[in-house]
Every structure is written in structure tokens, then in C-alpha cells.
Chains A and B, each alone.
Chain A
Amino acid sequence: MTDINAYQGPAEAGFGDYVALLKPRVMSLVVFTAFVGLWIAPVPMNPFVAFCSILFIALGGGASGALNMWYDADIDAVMKRTAGRPVPSGLVPKGDALALGIALSGLSVMMLGLAANWFAAGFLAFTIFFYAVVYTIWLKRSTPQNIVIGGAAGAFPPMIGWACATGGIGIESLLMFALIFFWTPPHFWALALFMNNDYTNAGVPMLPVTHGRKVTRRHIFGYTLVLTPFAIWLGFTSVGGGVYLAVSAVLNALFIAGGWQILRRSDEQSRADNHKVEKRYFRLSLYYLFLHFLALLVQHWVGAW
């Protein structure tokens, strides 16, 4: 095929490229955890209103994703994992990402307020602000604890879901927050242990880059130990029960064992088997969170305490 271009015009983005700005994979986690928070709350909701609430929470999450891609276009271009995103690849202009992010933020917050209640809407607005401004603009490039604080943004969705149904906060929703909040650092640090070069090139201060990999291994194990009591505690609240406690006990035992293995390994051993243990721990962490929330759903279905 012959294709002659006199000059390379600006690339034209398709609809999918704008959808990619909203980070659909992150959105799926937001949808799932927000749904669980809303569904297991003690106040029943009209199913259609519940569906709309989840949709607007997801849209708010997508909006913060677009704002993140607007601000982080420079470092996304350097990292292999993110170089193909719509803004660094030149498909979508930076300004478009900013405009889409701001417009969807406003829309999602207003619509959540109208669909559910204004407390939940304010909570969503705060979450978007926290992810886009506190995490992306302020902390991501300035401290190796960026993951810890950024994790809070990812931990808010079940609380927002709970707030949609109840109009407030409960110990159960705070513990769901803690579950994601303390899960995030070991999850991302395990990833950073085998994706180190990406972050080094981009100059993002990840813990393995700034404090070394040995410290990172200690931190992973430490956070695993902090996480466990909160996960178990959730099983003794009004949303917990036998099913949840059984699932949680198994997952936490596996998670601590994995963290212990990571702690005991040296970097030479890790490189020798191509980070096998770290990769396994990372995969386990994905199941850990998913199965905890699935267990909460099942527990609600069979009846909590």
C-alpha cells in the first residue's frame, strides 16, 4: 500500500481514546468497591437510583483520571507502561484532557447530589480534589510516601457508596476505607520492586528508588501486618459474619506469608528467578482486595451478624 503524506498532520483521536483518558481499569475497581459499600449499607436504595449513583461515582473517578493524565503527560511519556496513553502519544491534546476532567468532575458531583444526597456528592468532590491536586500535583513528585497518601483517594469509593445509601459515615465504611488504604502501599511497592527502572527514568520518587529495595521490602511486610487487624475487625462489625471472617483469615495468612518471603529475600535471589516471589505477591494482592469485597457481598446475601 502506498501512502504519501506531504506533512504529518495532527493525529485524530477516536472515541476510544477519550474513553481511555478516564482510566477504565481503575474505574472498574471504583465501581466494584463503591457498589459493595452501597449495597451492604443498612439503608435500602431504589435499584435504579443505586445504579445511577455508582455510575456517577465511576464518572467522578474517570474525571480524576483525566486530570491525572493532563498533569502527568510529561512523566507518562518517559515510562514504558504509560507511554501509549492518549496524551503522551499525541492523540489527544493536553487541553482536551483538562477540559474533559473538569467538565466530568462538575457533572458527576452535581448528578450524584441529585441522585443520592449532597453529603455523598461533597465526598466525591473531595475525592476528586484529593486525587487530582493533593496526590497528582502535590505529593506524587515530592515524597516517596506518595503511594501511601494517594491510596486514600482509591480507598474513598466504598465510603462514598455507603454515604449514598445512609447519608453519613459508619465504622463499617471507615474500616472498608482502612482495608484499601493499608492494602495500597504493599500492592504498589511490590509492583515497583519489579518495575523499578520505569520510575527511575521518570524521576518519580518511589520508595525503592529513594530508600533502596531493602527498606521497601521491610515496608511491604510492615504494612501487611498493619493491614491484617483492620481486615479482621471489619468481620466483627454489622456487615461481617462467618463467611467473611473465614475468607479474610485465609487471605491475610497468605498475605503475611508472602510479605515475610519478600522480607527474607535479597535482591540477588530476586533477580536470579526474575522476581518470581514479588510477582506472585503482586498477583495475590489483587485477589486479596477483590475477594475481601466479594466476601462482604456474599456475607450480606447470606445474612450478616
Chain B
Amino acid sequence: MVMLPQVEHELHKRRRSRNLGLLVVLLAFVALVFGLSIAKITSGDMMEGYDHQPRASILPKDPNPPARTAPVAAPGTPAAEAMSQQPGASQ
């Protein structure tokens, strides 16, 4: 095989600068979008929009929420049995 001398023209240098520049710009853009996502999610903005399907999570907050009651396990499940074995259990 004949080895050709590697001659780097100035043109190749410019082309490389363009490619490296684009690489840096794209990486920076990825980092930016990631950072924006983190900033938006942690700042607690309302991230859910209305998608034509009513659901509890987009209802306005109840100013007088009902008092919390103890969780009730479905009958026949291990959790229900565990609760029934506790002293003072209603089931």
C-alpha cells in the first residue's frame, strides 16, 4: 500500500472548526433543555394541562378539605389481615 503524505490544508482546519463548533453548540443546547426541565419541575409550576378529560388532579383546591381518615384495606388482602390482627382494629 502506498502511503500518501498527510497534508492538512487550511481548508480542512476551517472545516474542523465548524464541526467542533457545532458539536459544542448542540451539547450546550442539550444541557440547556435539561437544566430548563429541572428548573421548571422543581419550581412547582402547574405542569398538567387540560386534555379534554376531566380528572381530580386539575380540580381547584378545596378550601375546607375533609379530615383525613385512616386508610382502609380491601377485604381479603394481606394488608386487611394485618390490620385485623392489630389491637383495637374495627374489622
Interface of A toward B, CB cutoff 8 Å = 9, 12-16, 18-19, 46, 48-49, 52, 55, 114-115
B32 close to chain A: CB less than 8 A: yes
| Given A12-B14, A46-B43, A48-B39, 20 extra CB contacts under 8 A | A13-B14, A14-B13, A14-B17, A15-B18, A15-B21, A15-B22, A16-B21, A18-B18, A18-B21, A19-B21, A46-B39, A48-B36, A49-B36, A49-B39, A49-B40, A49-B43, A52-B32, A52-B36, A55-B32, A114-B36
Contacts of B43 in A (CB 8 A): 46, 49
Interface of B toward A, CB cutoff 8 Å = 10-11, 13-15, 17-18, 20-22, 32, 35-36, 39-40, 43
A172 to chain B, nearest CB (A): 25
On whether the beta carbons of B17 and A15 are closer than 8 Å, the reply is yes
Q: CA of A229 to CA of B22 in the docked complex: distance in angstroms?
A: 46
The prevalent SS among residues of B at the interface is helix
Q: CA of A14 to CA of B19 in the docked complex: distance in angstroms?
A: 9
Please give me the residue from chain A that is nearest to B11 by CB atom. A12
A86 to chain B, nearest CB (A): 12
Q: CA of A74 to CA of B91 in the docked complex: distance in angstroms?
A: 89
Q: CA of A175 to CA of B10 in the docked complex: distance in angstroms?
A: 51
Please give me the residue from chain A that is nearest to B39 by CB atom. A48
Please give me the residue from chain A that is nearest to B28 by CB atom. A55
The 9 listed contacts between A and B (C-beta, < 8 Å) are A14-B13, A14-B14, A16-B17, A19-B21, A46-B39, A49-B43, A55-B32, A114-B36, A115-B36
B32 to chain A, nearest CB (A): 6
On whether the beta carbons of B39 and A15 are closer than 8 Å, the reply is no
Please give me the residue from chain B that is nearest to A56 by CB atom. B32
B88 to chain A, nearest CB (A): 49
Q: CA of A14 to CA of B40 in the docked complex: distance in angstroms?
A: 36
Q: CA of A12 to CA of B12 in the docked complex: distance in angstroms?
A: 9
Please give me the residue from chain A that is nearest to B38 by CB atom. A48
Q: CA of A19 to CA of B18 in the docked complex: distance in angstroms?
A: 10
A54 to chain B, nearest CB (A): 12
Contacts of A115 in B (CB 8 A): 36
B58 to chain A, nearest CB (A): 20
Contacts of A15 in B (CB 8 A): 17-18, 20-22
Q: CA of A19 to CA of B22 in the docked complex: distance in angstroms?
A: 11
Please give me the residue from chain B that is nearest to A52 by CB atom. B36
Please give me the residue from chain A that is nearest to B24 by CB atom. A15
What are the nearest 8 A-B pairs in CB distance?
A: A15-B21, A14-B14, A48-B39, A12-B14, A14-B17, A12-B11, A15-B17, A15-B18
Q: CA of A114 to CA of B35 in the docked complex: distance in angstroms?
A: 13
Q: CA of A9 to CA of B11 in the docked complex: distance in angstroms?
A: 10
On whether the beta carbons of B18 and A14 are closer than 8 Å, the reply is yes
Please give me the residue from chain A that is nearest to B20 by CB atom. A15
Q: CA of A16 to CA of B39 in the docked complex: distance in angstroms?
A: 31
Contacts of B39 in A (CB 8 A): 46, 48-49
